[in-house]
Amino acid sequence: MSSASARKGDLLRLSTLFVRTLREDPADAEVASHRLLLRAGYIRRAAPGIYTWLPLGLRVLGKVEAIVREEMDAIGGQEVHFPALLPREPYEATGRWEEYGPNLFRLKDRKEADYLLAPTHEEMFTLLVKDLYSSYKDLPLTIYQIQTKYRDEARPRAGLIRGREFIMKDSYSFDHTDAGLDEAYQRHRDAYERIFRRLGLEYVIVSAVSGAMGGSRSEEFLSPSPIGEDTFVRSAGGYAANVEAVATPVPDAVPFDDAPAAHVEDTPDTPTIDSLVELANARFPRPDRPWTAADTLKNVVLAVTHPDGTREVLVVGLPGDREVDVKRLEAALAPAEAEPAGDADFAAHPELVKGYIGPAVLGPQGAQVTDPQTGETRSAVRYLLDPRVVPGTRWITGANVQGRHVFDLVAGRDFVGDGAIEAAEVRAGDPAPDGSGPLELARGIEMGHIFQLGRKYAQALGLTVLDENGKQVVVTMGSYGIGVTRALAALAEANHDEKGLAWPAHVAPAQVHLVATGKGAEVFEAAESIAQGLVARGVEVIYDDRPKVSPGVKFADAELLGVPLLVVVGRGLAEGVVEVRPRAGEARQVGVDDVVEDVAAQVEALLA
Amino acid sequence: MSSASARKGDLLRLSTLFVRTLREDPADAEVASHRLLLRAGYIRRAAPGIYTWLPLGLRVLGKVEAIVREEMDAIGGQEVHFPALLPREPYEATGRWEEYGPNLFRLKDRKEADYLLAPTHEEMFTLLVKDLYSSYKDLPLTIYQIQTKYRDEARPRAGLIRGREFIMKDSYSFDHTDAGLDEAYQRHRDAYERIFRRLGLEYVIVSAVSGAMGGSRSEEFLSPSPIGEDTFVRSAGGYAANVEAVATPVPDAVPFDDAPAAHVEDTPDTPTIDSLVELANARFPRPDRPWTAADTLKNVVLAVTHPDGTREVLVVGLPGDREVDVKRLEAALAPAEAEPAGDADFAAHPELVKGYIGPAVLGPQGAQVTDPQTGETRSAVRYLLDPRVVPGTRWITGANVQGRHVFDLVAGRDFVGDGAIEAAEVRAGDPAPDGSGPLELARGIEMGHIFQLGRKYAQALGLTVLDENGKQVVVTMGSYGIGVTRALAALAEANHDEKGLAWPAHVAPAQVHLVATGKGAEVFEAAESIAQGLVARGVEVIYDDRPKVSPGVKFADAELLGVPLLVVVGRGLAEGVVEVRPRAGEARQVGVDDVVEDVAAQVEALLA
């Protein structure tokens, strides 16, 4: 949307620059980046999750875009530009018109035809390549765009971090072999590392599951931040993953030849897992060790809505010391959506006795459940188990009767599930799946995501090419995104203090903030001359030339705006010196005749 | 959306460039620019009036944008960027939520709040300045954006010329005095002239009426073209105007003391104006000259819909030799909309006798019309007259009775109207309003429009500033648009021949198209070396390095793509020469060792 000119000098006078800073924090801005971008006059809110860019914000945005563009061009990416307003049909063909649910902005044109504001462009890229290309000789191909996207978020938050209109760089690779896709993926991964390094942004690459996007290999680039929406894990040994992607290490099966037979017992007054464990240890102690909450099998009832609209009741069994993590559950079930079962779901399954649900009526065990009310038989609800529930593990769980539990129920002997599911929370201290030590949890802002989409979209939309043997083969694709506006917010989030923003030099709206303080004409004349000298040397300068503004206000504004170098022309001028200091560093006195040379050299070093 | 780099060399290899040319004209492309931009692989259609930009198209677009941006910056414009997705409220406040009618894309978000895809941003600019500024000292201000806009055209046509998603540069000036607005207007006018000159686009500046936009002074920049949708007029003496803006020169009043009294006559068998004139000359001849069609007063009945939804029946009286021009009528009545009256309208006004309507029942004459059916009295329909109907003119017109007309009805004596209206067609040979000679008619593509909006939006949205005397004054605004994607299409329209596009050097996707023809490795080696040499000299080169494509296809593609200079490395190489020729000029043989120098100098001259 905007062009950045890396090393063309530029003079922005605060007396005329279209900006107003705010002394007070805006009421609705919870996170620092949002608060400071508003206060410093970089953006303004136009509607929930929708922002207007003011000149300073647009300058930063242009620089972020330019770095992204350069690195995409460097790996052979070719820039294209798709519309934001698109017809329904391609999204219908891949099922996403429905799958997106309320996140999609939908509208009708004057002829009542269905349109959408695109949240992502897989379909359009695929169809465009299908339109233009037909042979394996045309491949590999990488095309990209930097474009405005739309998502009707239920809860837009944190300013640019989760908005409803935002800018993304999205690129797509097209290959006719899996090896080609691997190479394209790796090229993007390397380019993303260069992009985030050049932006001056700390990042962690974590394994991810691709969820609704389908496909196989997938990694996210996160900016570690306490305000991030994504929780990720890492081990001292180098493992890192999105929590959704953490595979629980599967324990070895336990021999159960010596295990006692299961026995059902009255368990009055055990409303909680803790009280149940207490009762178990008092009345039915294990010989080897005390029972713990991890020995109870909690069966959680969920209502799952599939893309075709059908609703399924499903039970997830997991150790009683862990909660279901909704994001992991959603990732595991995507594109289906899950919510806790409601009264109507329980009413439809009277065999599920709240608080006392056990495997005997679930999945394979309950294959022909007899409805306790009607006496009729039907299939039991599907039953998915946490990977820790391996054969031989002994459990305390519900006996499907009010007030009773079953003890010493052995997995693989007394029950099995319909499959495994990664739905339990990941906790600090859990072992890394690759054996590289215990996990720690941290939060991050998702700035980039790279996927091996594979053949899903090409298959759905008929993108094939003739291969070396004259045979039609389905093309394999990669999809690679960077949240451009979000990366800008992450930069602000990672680079600020209590006084304001503190941009890395490559993305700052200018490199030098020049302040003239005092009332004498000589101050403004000297400052003007320094400003002109710096601009002639290719430096971008914000010059605070406002005649009637106090030094205090000028300094506060300079710190709020967050340009890397501050130059102050004021009292020292009588002694022939001006002050030079980094945004958050120590001041130096520099001779007025040397200051242009001195500062230009510093800028050169900052941008090196 | 894209960054253009004016003089950074660039090498685009046709073997990998994401482009495919089409030999056949696409079925739905009627005009040359649309046809050739599709055939040359610059754009692809995504939906009616909605296009995808391929790499070559995006390069041209980036260059057009860069020129617009530079000239806006040069007049002190500050770039901002508004969302495309906007809430209803600001547009409600100015009445445009309704006024836009079906041209506006409207949608609801997940909370059922109303949104629109902005067709233009007057409201948002006004509110932003209101948010930031409060004093006359903050003014003057000019802010602009280059942004994607939306209009749900009833008939998108001619590719990018009338699309539904398109890019505009829109800028706004803010002043607290009328003189300030005049200056801002003139600065934009000058900048627009520079922009169109730099783009290499012939333009005509015509006076315009601002229609629904309100305001006073207004001019359009048109690119003369037979496929243009706008008709404009010009005189040899330098007058130029949009037909909507042509003010009919008002003739002097005619003395009518000697005029005969009006007389009503039976006029059987006069179904047309010609037959009526024939009867008049036969039976009621004028002593001075014969009656002509221009002496008949035609009263056209219209149904006008006002923005508040009310419907009014209105009669326009004009000389019988002229038709009503719908565009002029709409401009005169905007924001109300007009259509020919229907049966229901006539039924509601039985005093209007089709084919025989005369002034006696209209406007002031008919102020208390007695309904011929019910006998009740009520106000007559409003009656607006063509400016040629001046006092003393003598007319033949309807007598409000089947089969009868009235003769020698004198304006100002026998009837008056409720006002004047410019609704009659303008014809070649009509006098220019400024006396500069007869008008000729031509067609053009509207590329830019500059308006003095005045205080309309500032008033509606409460944008005031404190003036020198501490008094709140309403700000006066100018609004200035350039259709960026349309200007690109106008460039293609003005610069092509039967073989393809022929871009002016400043906007061409590259300056040189280098073709290697032949099978020998030495041809490709020499061409590669020339390509590298040119790129090192800052030249953008499309290099046709495709190994198995025939020379004929390569030349046809080069002419279709339309780059200014063609360099051919082929048969001449054995004699040490290559061919250099302009897109549509004579070929020269240049020594292979001199060609880089020679061509780089030509490029330098083209871009000077």
Closest residue in B to A88 (Cα–Cα): B47
Distance CA A378, CA A357 (A): 18
Which pair of tokens denotes residue B16?
Answer: 């990998």
Distance CA A357, CA B218 (A): 77
Query: Domain coordinates of chain B in residue numbers?
Result: 26-82+118-246+441-494, 263-420, 510-607
CA B263, chain centre distance (Å): 47
pLDDT at B554: 97
Name every chain B residue with its beta carbon within 8 A of the beta carbon of A52: 80-83, 124, 128
pLDDT at B551: 95
Does residue A1 register a pLDDT over 60? no
Which one of A13, A59, A110 makes the best mutation probe of the B interface by having the most chain B beta carbons within 10 Å?
A110
| pLDDT (average), residues A43-61 | 97
Which one of A2, A64, A108, A114 makes the best mutation probe of the B interface by having the most chain B beta carbons within 10 Å?
A2
| pLDDT (average), residues B481-491 | 97
B372 pLDDT band, cuts 50/70/90, is low
Does residue A212 register a pLDDT over 50? no
Cis before B156 (ω within 30): no
Residue A72's Cβ-count burial label (10 Å; 0-12, 13-18, 19+) is buried
- Shortest distance, CA A110 to any CA of chain B (angstroms): 6
B176: nearest Cα among B208, B147, B210, B134: B134
DSSP A415: B
Please provide the DSSP assignment of B215-262 as one string: -S-EEEEEEE-TT-SEEEEEETTS-EEEGGGPPPPPPPP---TTPPPP
B300 pLDDT band, cuts 50/70/90, is very high
Residues 6+ apart with CB under 8 A from B392: B253, B254, B255, B256, B259, B410, B411, B412, B413
pLDDT at A378: 74
Please name the member of A3, A20, A78 whose beta carbon is closest to the beta carbon of B69. A3
A395 pLDDT band, cuts 50/70/90, is very high
Does residue A211 register a pLDDT over 80? no
Q: How many residues does chain A have?
A: 608
For A496, the enclosing helix (H) or strand (E) is: strand A496-497
pLDDT at A209: 72
Distance CA A565, CA A278 (A): 64
Which one of B1, B103, B142 makes the best mutation probe of the A interface by having the most chain A beta carbons within 10 Å?
B1
In DSSP terms, A340 is beta-bridged to: A302
Which pair of tokens denotes residue B274?
Answer: 């010609």
Which pair of tokens denotes residue B518?
Answer: 């032949």
Distance CA B376, CA A384 (A): 83
| pLDDT (average), residues A46-67 | 97
- Cβ contacts below 8 Å, chain A against chain B, sum to 159
Q: Which fold has domain A31-246+441-494?
A: BirA Bifunctional Protein; domain 2 (3.30.930)
Domain range B26-82+118-246+441-494, its CATH number among 3.30.930.10, 3.40.50.300, 3.40.50.150, 2.30.30.170:
3.30.930.10
| pLDDT (average), residues B509-516 | 98
Does residue B1 register a pLDDT over 50? no
pTM listed for this prediction = 0.88
Query: Is it true that domain A510-606 has CATH number 3.40.50.800?
Result: yes
Greatest CA separation found in chain B?
101
| A52·B83 Cβ contact <8 A | yes
pLDDT at B173: 98
Alpha carbons within 13 angstroms on the beta-carbon side of residue B540 total: 20
Name every chain B residue with its beta carbon within 8 A of the beta carbon of A117: 85, 107, 117
Please name the member of B54, B80, B109 whose beta carbon is closest to the beta carbon of A53. B80
Greatest CA separation found in chain A?
101
Distance CA A259, CA A408 (A): 8
Closest residue in A to B17 (Cα–Cα): A78
pLDDT at B3: 36
pLDDT digits (tens, 9 = 90+) for B259-273: 899 999 999 999 999
Q: Phi-psi bin for A562: left (phi > 0), alpha (psi -120 to 50), beta?
A: left
Dihedral, B596, B497, B58, B449 alpha carbons, nearest 10: 120
Closest residue in A to B60 (Cα–Cα): A80
| A51·B2 Cβ contact <8 A | no
Say if residues B181 and B173 touch (Cβ distance below 8 Å). yes
pLDDT at B395: 96
Which pair of tokens denotes residue B365?
Answer: 């004459």
pLDDT over 90, % of chain B: 80
| B20·A87 Cβ contact <8 A | no
Residue B551's Cβ-count burial label (10 Å; 0-12, 13-18, 19+) is middle
Place of tokens 């610059």: B42
Does residue B211 register a pLDDT over 70? no
Say if residues A579 and A520 touch (Cβ distance below 8 Å). no
Direct distance between the N- and C-terminal alpha carbons of chain B, in angstroms, rounded to an integer: 26
Residue B522: what residue type?
E
CA A432, chain centre distance (Å): 21
Residues 6+ apart with CB under 8 A from A289: none
Fold agreement (B26-82+118-246+441-494, B263-420): no
A43 pLDDT band, cuts 50/70/90, is very high
Name every chain A residue with its beta carbon within 8 A of the beta carbon of B52: 80-83, 124, 128
Domain range B263-420, its CATH number among 3.40.30.10, 3.10.530.10, 3.40.50.300, 3.90.960.10:
3.90.960.10
Q: ∠A400-A404-A410 over CA atoms, to 5°? A: 70
Distance CA B186, CA A412 (A): 86
| A44·B131 Cβ contact <8 A | yes
| B50·A131 Cβ contact <8 A | no
Does residue B34 register a pLDDT over 60? yes
Say if residues A330 and A337 touch (Cβ distance below 8 Å). yes
Distance CA B394, CA B389 (A): 9
pLDDT digits (tens, 9 = 90+) for A527-543: 999 999 999 999 999 99
CATH architecture of the domain formed by B510-607: 3-Layer(aba) Sandwich (3.40)
Place of tokens 């129920």: A409
pLDDT digits (tens, 9 = 90+) for A451-498: 999 998 999 999 999 999 999 999 999 999 999 999 999 999 999 999
* Residue A365 vs residue A130, higher pLDDT: A130
Distance CA A230, CA A444 (A): 5
Sign of CA dihedral A50, A55, A57, A63: positive
* Residue A231 vs residue A6, higher pLDDT: A231
pLDDT at A372: 66
| Phi, psi for residue B107 in degrees, rounded to 5 | -155, 170
Helices (H), B419-497: 456-461, 484-494
Say if residues A302 and A316 touch (Cβ distance below 8 Å). yes
pLDDT at A7: 61
| B46·A115 Cβ contact <8 A | no
Q: How many CB atoms lie within 10 A of CB B326?
A: 13
* 3-state SS, residue B40: coil
pLDDT at A220: 95
Please provide the DSSP assignment of A67-131 as one string: HHHHHHHHTT-EE-B--SEEESHHHHHTTHHHHTGGGSEEEE-TT--EEEE-S--HHHHHHHHHH
The interface predicted TM-score of the complex, written ipTM, equals: 0.87
| B55·A78 Cβ contact <8 A | yes
